[in-house]
A and B are shown apart, each in its own frame.
Chain A
Amino acid sequence: MSTTTESAAGAAPDAAPAKTGPGAHPPAGRRNRGKRQPVAVQHMAGWLFSTPFLVLFAVFMALPIVATLVMSFTDFGLRNVTDPLSAEFIGLENYTKLFGDEKFLKALFNTAYFVVVGVPLTVGLGLGVAVLLNNGIDRARTFFRVGFYAPVVTSIVAIAVVWRFVLDPSDGLIAGLASEVGLTSPDFLGSEALAMPSLIVMAVWRNLGTVMVLFIAGLQAIPPDVREAARLDGASTWQEFRRITVPLLRPTMLYTTVITTIGYLNVFEEPFVMTQGGPSDSTLTVSLAMYREGFNFFHMGYASAMAYVLFVVIMAITVLQLRLLKDNTK
């Protein structure tokens, strides 16, 4: 511990000048007994404290974000993994090819399907459970909360294994229960019509807990006196919900909808582990298509174009949601 302290503090003056910018003040190490620290000391400390994050951010996030964009205009292939600079620029070719690529269009459609059905279900059910937990009962809240949140903390791989088994048409749990009442279970993951809905149900099951916890926090942040005042003024249960809870929950609703949408637009793990995109590409999502092009076929330029199209879509939808769901009462 103490050695870390020494070295980091000792390193301070060296790294400082580069970052402090104009009006360089005297370096640290100066004692200012009885006086406020000069701004320069905090300035330097601030940048020093930021450096590790900024360096890692620059190398492993900013650089790749830019590199993906650049790669999407090249024919980056397997040989360029060892020799990236020899990739040739081919302009917008990847992008024009994309929009004639039936697989990609199908992936876009599948992803939209997943989001449009999955997000309202997840947010709606999460909100429902949160309200029931927060306002409907007064005992065993923690017990229920832990139970509903448990799938969030578990590995997708384990979840996929179990769900594949649950959904198995011959000796799965659902098939067994169905045969008990004289029904035959469909082959959920083997059917083009049912594979995607099955993945959506699984995603809702897995993400419900996150949404629930966010809504519970939002509900608890509503001051009790506001409710009290509304009741004293004779507000009914419904009016209280409609005029107090909903408006005050709006920021939470916005936030949960946005993060759930972003997460679902990126959906990759569920189809990768459960169906590998099948049957006949009915669960192929954009991220999965990108992964395949990039890491199975090493068409990395083409895959980069896919990644950027998805990114632009995500940004556009996020901005749109922020606009639409923003508190427009102000």
Chain B
Amino acid sequence: MSAARTTSPPPPPSAPAGPVDPKGPSWSDPGSGTAPKSGGGRLRKSGVYALLSIGLLVMAAPFLWMGLSSFKTDRDLTASPPVWIPSEWTLEHFDELLDRLDVPLYFFNSLTVAVLVTASNLVFCSMLGYALAKLRFGGRNKIFALVLGALMVPGNLMLLPLFVLMSKLQLIDSYAGLMLPFAAQAFGVFLMRQFMQSIPDELLEAARIDGAREWYIFWRIAMPLVKPALATLSILIFLGSWNNFVWPLIATNDPEKYTLPVALATFATDPNQSAGSNGMLMVGSLLIILPVLLVFIVLQRHFTQGLATTGMK
């Protein structure tokens, strides 16, 4: 890894910092070092801000482009040089999208599957997470090893037999078929186990001494204590389901059961249909992304927290 190089001497403090040059001086906090604060430090900090801002602009540009293009007329969409701000704001592509694709239906399908998947993961992952963190039972370590192993298995490995299985069970084109493979995800178990471990044993022990049953302790004592974790889990699972693409693509043949991404992708990858409908595709993308992006911005702490927890331990 580039960061593990031993040779190259530290560059002079005035050297511009860059994200592709991880050996630069920007790695340490210039404000709290042993060196006194200097104009160079401030300059360096402005450089970092400038660099991050450019990076952010690159990251955000496709989103901005999509958002603005959704309101452009066809003339603006094909204008060269490209126009960022629509010269004339229009909702014609919204109408076109609603005309040609049954968006409310696909939206409802996506939402239903996502809610069902989230609910089942909240219960099942928490149950096993609690057991792995707080109960002593034979086989616990083996189950935990299984969970860790399941984290490593690529989803594509199971697609073919899963399709056959669902066909046999006649669950193709059903909500059950869409949700069951994701109803209890290993990463959720892992996340909940990490959070459940933070519950003090004394609390659970006290309840046990009072004669409470294990389910009661789990549901009434442990679960309320890990509410932030449940929020994190809900968001991550919901999002995973909302954005899920490969399995819904395979598990649905009937357009009536398409999820939003499947419907849009099917339309977009069919040249006979999608030719000349860039504006409409932009609107469709906007409708997939917008709810998620809003939720993410409001609840962003939960995302990064969850990711960091599963990532670090």
Interface on A for B, CB 8 Å cutoff? 1, 4-5, 8-9, 12, 21, 28-29, 31-37, 39, 41-47, 49-50, 52-54, 56-57, 59-61, 63-65, 67-68, 71, 80-82, 84, 120, 123-125, 127-129, 131-133, 135-138, 140, 142, 144-151, 153-166, 170-173, 175-177, 179-180, 205, 208, 210, 213-214, 216-218, 221, 231, 234, 236-238, 240-242, 245-246, 249, 251-253, 255-257, 262, 265-266, 268-269, 272-273, 276, 287, 290-291, 294-295, 300, 303-304, 307-308, 310-311, 314, 318, 325
Contact indicator A128/B81 (Cβ below 8 Å):
no
Identify which of A43, A45, A124, A287 contacts B22 (C-beta below 8 A): A124
Asked if B104 CB lies within 8 Å of chain A CBs, one says no
> Scoring B residues 46 to 74 as 1 if CB is less than 8 Å from chain A, else 0, what string do you get?
00110110011011111101100100000
9 A-B pairs closest in CB distance: A46-B137, A128-B19, A238-B10, A176-B82, A217-B308, A67-B161, A158-B285, A64-B158, A49-B131
Residues of chain B within 8 A of A150, CB atoms compared: 59-60, 63, 293, 296
Residues of chain A within 8 A of B125, CB atoms compared: 53
Contact indicator B308/A153 (Cβ below 8 Å):
no
Contact indicator A314/B285 (Cβ below 8 Å):
no
Identify which of B19, B58, B63, B157 contacts A311 (C-beta below 8 A): B157
Query: Interface of chain A, helix or strand or loop or mixed?
Result: helix
Residues of chain A within 8 A of B268, CB atoms compared: 157, 160-161, 164, 273
Known: A5-B215, A214-B311, A311-B157. A238 touches B9 (CB 8 A): yes
> Scoring B residues 173 to 197 as 1 if CB is less than 8 Å from chain A, else 0, what string do you get?
0000000110110100100000000
Query: Closest residue of chain A to B287, judged by CB?
Result: A158
Q: How far is the CA of A295 from the CA of B180 in the complex (A)?
A: 20
Q: How many inter-chain contacts with C-beta < 8 Å in the A-B complex?
A: 384
| B:1-48 near A, CB below 8 Å | 1-4, 6, 9-10, 17-23, 25-31, 33-34, 44-45, 48
Contact indicator A162/B209 (Cβ below 8 Å):
no
Q: How far is the CA of A215 from the CA of B168 in the complex (A)?
A: 44
- In the complex, 18 of the A-B residue pairs with CB atoms within 8 angstroms, ordered by the A residue number, are A9-B215, A46-B137, A67-B165, A136-B29, A147-B59, A150-B296, A153-B296, A154-B243, A155-B260, A157-B285, A158-B66, A217-B312, A237-B10, A237-B28, A246-B4, A265-B154, A272-B269, A295-B163
Query: Closest residue of chain B to A2, judged by CB?
Result: B219
Q: How far is the CA of A171 from the CA of B10 in the complex (A)?
A: 45
- Give the Cβ gap from A70 to chain B, nearest Cβ, in Å: 9
Contact indicator B25/A237 (Cβ below 8 Å):
yes
Identify which of A5, A214, A291 contacts B307 (C-beta below 8 A): A214
Identify which of B66, B81, B246 contacts A177 (C-beta below 8 A): B81
Known: A49-B128, A166-B62. A216 touches B308 (CB 8 A): yes
Size of interface on B: residues with Cβ below 8 Å to A = 129
Contact indicator B28/A241 (Cβ below 8 Å):
yes
| B:246-285 near A, CB below 8 Å | 246, 250, 260-262, 264-265, 268-269, 278, 281-282, 284-285
Contact indicator A43/B219 (Cβ below 8 Å):
no
Contact indicator A144/B22 (Cβ below 8 Å):
no
Q: How far is the CA of A84 from the CA of B55 in the complex (A)?
A: 52
Contact indicator B156/A266 (Cβ below 8 Å):
yes
Residues of chain B within 8 A of A129, CB atoms compared: 19, 52, 55
Asked if B292 CB lies within 8 Å of chain A CBs, one says yes
Residues of chain A within 8 A of B312, CB atoms compared: 214, 217-218, 221, 251-252, 255
Residues of chain B within 8 A of A165, CB atoms compared: 65-66, 69, 278, 281-282
